[in-house]
Chain A
């Protein structure tokens, strides 16, 4: 902690000269250094510092690596979305603060789109909160409604932030895994199901909420109406809230339909439904999301929001509103981006599945979302000499990045401690990638067995 004196003649800034009474200062400094170090972090973040993405995105940032790991598109967002941002920021007043709980034109557009989808009236001012990504909606919801003494049911595998957010709120996560129901040769995300009796067992008087993610990351499962009814029945019976993460709501493939649990009887009043501009419009870097629900729940999310960041960026919200108006008007038209994107992704999904099958792997073909998981244990890559206590899939990913120049995400990142062993033979690929990226992946997978390990 040696403080040297510096001068700033080069910048012409006068700054505090430390030459005088250096001695008394150094005495003060050493005194504070030996005092009990009280700048410890608050208890709420204890143990929540590690984060898989921080580690893995660093590794995969190398441009020579074909990155099918982190879930971000390398395809272009639609041009009208980009143009909308240019137009919005050219308006002077749109560079200043807007309404805290959501820019008026955006909440209006969201209410129109979702009124149509849900078949019920949604008040833009009281039933909607705009947040910094769906991530921000998850945080606001959990901080608003979950606390010490509560239990929150999380379905495994789960988007990794659910667990630390629940723990930060002081609550206890209760895990229940999706289980693979072996039904023939081709694996589909529909083969992964919850056991209804097992699920019912997880509910008790302390259960404050269940977190639902449909379409599901990482498996790509699209929960059917019947499956949602099982969950809904339990929520009603136990007076439990439902936090429904539906960021991939538009990305469902042929033969499947996305059902909103909030539209089931008795569920609107106990459900917060979360959506994402990043996933809807392929603009993950815009970090805009929303929570929709009844006023008596949303008002508490608004309280968190007003004490956390108060308002989201204005020009991005305006641009998003304009994009929504364009697509709202063509919701009966197959060219609507909500449908055209999923058509585009379906062919990428099919291509990805084919590539993996040709490499001798058995991918789980997703019914929705833009991820695909695959069991890599059949490749028999021997990593026993890797001297780390990490699960197999972590070691596999690191090896694959290094030796095959291909990245993916280990599935055990999405599991609670008890189930890591169950899922450690799976890795997750993201396929919302342009053709040249998938071409490069194809080359790697085709040559998999030809290259030395």
Chain B
């Protein structure tokens, strides 16, 4: 099929005018090229569409897609109820396009204190439809054809198609695992960047690097030293940093989430992205934000005003209220930002134990609510298919949900096409789940293990 009618073909067709056939030649020229725009090339595949459907159809226990199956905190629901019950029904109408004033004000206050900057709520903060839309605005606002964007593997899968759709070239660099020496369980900290390799990825075409810390799917929390390494390269090569920090509050074992924007030379070149969905266990609200210097945010605002323009008012009003609450409680035991990671750490440890006992080898995450497990011991259940297009872990995950009713996501989903087979024996579990869900997962795993070991 003719991919696109170039000028010569169109010219040829136009020349062949005849009174009866004129319009049909026009139609031929247009119909010979696809109706969709070229920017959609290569970005149409999406793993979630398939895996969410599979989970919905087959799973009894869904540890796949990343959302909590426990309720959001009461104070969040109360905040929405309060907003709804107020006399002021204008909360159902448009608010300020770049962010509802009470929300941008509290975000500016909160992040200002965390970063040691005076933030202007009107220019240094913008509200988006989830962190997802903030990412989209960043790539669309800054990436042009010819620009390279460095993406650290494994990565949250949307980064690659977003860079591609903006006309950019994604440049990948993997975190490389090094097994701990003393036979201890592997941790996400054991996956590291090679500094020379990272430096080699920067060149004059590099527009930005995407940093995701704490990292989905691995759970890695980048250390001070690792962030300094990245920061030094950003400053040296004058590169932007798109810092996806949606799991900023979910760090365990007393670890600290360090914001790269607070490192020297970084505030001016970093856009920090956050999420109410992850922060307040309400992924369905789709309230996110971008924080950064005005000279970067101004372009993100331009993108936003020409794509969705406004975000839902009432959700922003409720999120503003709960942020106020957290601002007052910061550092205190009642703070949700203290309680949630405490709860999730317990769940993490529980699932780690569960997987280990069953023979899957978990990688202990330092943060987020995801962990990876090596399923090599279970390979006999899902025979290898040589020369298959599909990575092994993807076939394994599909088999597992259909036959064991347990949903997880293959790690290869978080690698670029060329690298999908590099780490194809890992699957990702989400542990932001009720005790009952994790117990049920354990039951499936234990039964499975027994089936393997008994004759």
* A18 with B306, Cβ < 8 A, contacts A239-B27, A311-B286 known: no
Please measure, in the bound complex, the distance between the C-alpha atom of A48 and the C-alpha atom of B299, giving whole angstroms: 10
List the one stretch of B87-95, B395-403, B413-421 in contact with chain A: B87-95
Q: Does A451 contact B (CB under 8 A)?
A: no
- Nearest chain A CB to B26 CB, angstrom units: 5
Count chain B CB atoms within 10 A of each CB in A44, A99, A139 and give the residue with the most.
Answer: A44
Cβ A53 vs Cβ B269 within 8 A? no
**A140 to B298 alpha-carbon distance, docked (Å):** 22
Q: Which residue of chain B has the shortest Cβ distance to A163 in the bound complex?
A: B306
Interface 1/0s, chain A 70-84, versus B by CB < 8 A? 101110110000100
| Partner among B29, B52, B267, B310 whose Cβ is within 8 Å of the Cβ of A285 | B310
Distance, CA A49 to CA B52, complexed state (A): 38
The chain B residue sitting closest to A316, CB to CB, is: B312
Interface size of B in residues (CB-CB distance below 8 Å): 103
Whether a CB of chain A sits under 8 angstroms from the CB of B315 is: yes
Binds A, one of B42-50, B179-187, B243-251, B385-393: B42-50
Q: How far is the CA of A16 from the CA of B71 in the complex (A)?
A: 35
> Does A143 reach chain B (CB closer than 8 Å)?
yes
B35 touches A145 (CB 8 A): yes
Complex formed: what's the CA distance from A32 to B239 in Å?
10
Q: Is A169 an interface residue (CB 8 A)?
A: yes
Contacts across chains A and B counted by CB atoms under 8 Å: 259
Contact A313:B299 (CB < 8 A) given known A51-B305, A100-B49, A161-B306: no
Q: B126 in the interface, Cβ–Cβ < 8 Å?
A: no
Cα of A401 to Cα of B312 in the assembled complex, Å = 28
Can you name 9 A-B residue pairings with CB atoms under 8 Å? Answer: A43-B144, A95-B285, A96-B283, A205-B14, A237-B26, A238-B26, A238-B27, A309-B286, A316-B312
Would you call B31 and A45 a contact (CB within 8 A)? no
Chain A residue numbers with a CB within 8 Å of B207 are 38
Do A86 and B90 touch (CB < 8 A)?
no
Chain A residue numbers with a CB within 8 Å of B94 are 70, 72, 278, 284-285
Q: How far is the CA of A313 from the CA of B283 in the complex (A)?
A: 8
Q: Establish whether residues A16 and B312, one from each chain, have CB atoms under 8 Å apart when the complex forms.
A: no
**Cβ of B236: which chain A residues have Cβ within 8 Å of it?**
28
Assess whether B14 is in contact with A48, with CB atoms less than 8 Å apart.
Answer: no
Tell me the bound Cα distance from A5 to B203 in angstroms: 31
Task: Kindly identify which residue among B10, B65, B263 contacts A16, using a CB–CB cutoff of 8 Å.
Answer: B263
**Contact flags (1/0) for A49-60 with B, using CB distance below 8 Å?**
101011001000
Verify A100–B48 contact, CB threshold 8 A. Answer: yes
A139→B305 CA distance, assembly (Å): 11
* Beyond A6-B116, A133-B308, A311-B130, 20 extra complex contacts between A and B, CB < 8 Å: A8-B116, A29-B264, A29-B265, A35-B238, A42-B141, A45-B303, A139-B308, A143-B37, A144-B37, A145-B37, A146-B37, A161-B306, A284-B92, A285-B95, A306-B46, A306-B48, A309-B286, A310-B132, A311-B284, A312-B129
Query: Dominant SS at the B interface?
Result: helix
Q: Is the CB of B312 within 8 A of A286?
A: yes
Interface residues of A (CB under 8 A from B): 1, 3, 6, 8, 11-16, 18, 25, 28-29, 31-32, 35-39, 41-45, 48-49, 51, 53-54, 57, 70, 72-74, 76-77, 82, 85-86, 89-90, 92-100, 132-133, 135-136, 139, 143-147, 161, 164-165, 168-169, 205, 237-239, 241, 278, 282-287, 296-297, 300, 303-304, 306-316
B23 within 8 Å of A by Cβ? yes
Measured CB to CB, the closest approach of chain A to B42, in angstroms, equals 10
Given contacts A95-B285, A96-B284, contact A89 B80 (CB under 8 A): yes
Known: A13-B114, A308-B136. A143 touches B30 (CB 8 A): no
Docked-complex contact A205 and B312, CB < 8 angstroms: no
13-44 of chain B: CB within 8 A of chain A: 14, 23, 26-27, 29-31, 35-40, 43-44
How far is B23's CA from A239's CA once the two chains are assembled, in angstroms?
9
Q: Which 10 A-B pairs have the closest CB atoms?
A: A314-B284, A285-B313, A147-B37, A6-B116, A41-B299, A92-B71, A300-B36, A309-B133, A96-B67, A132-B308
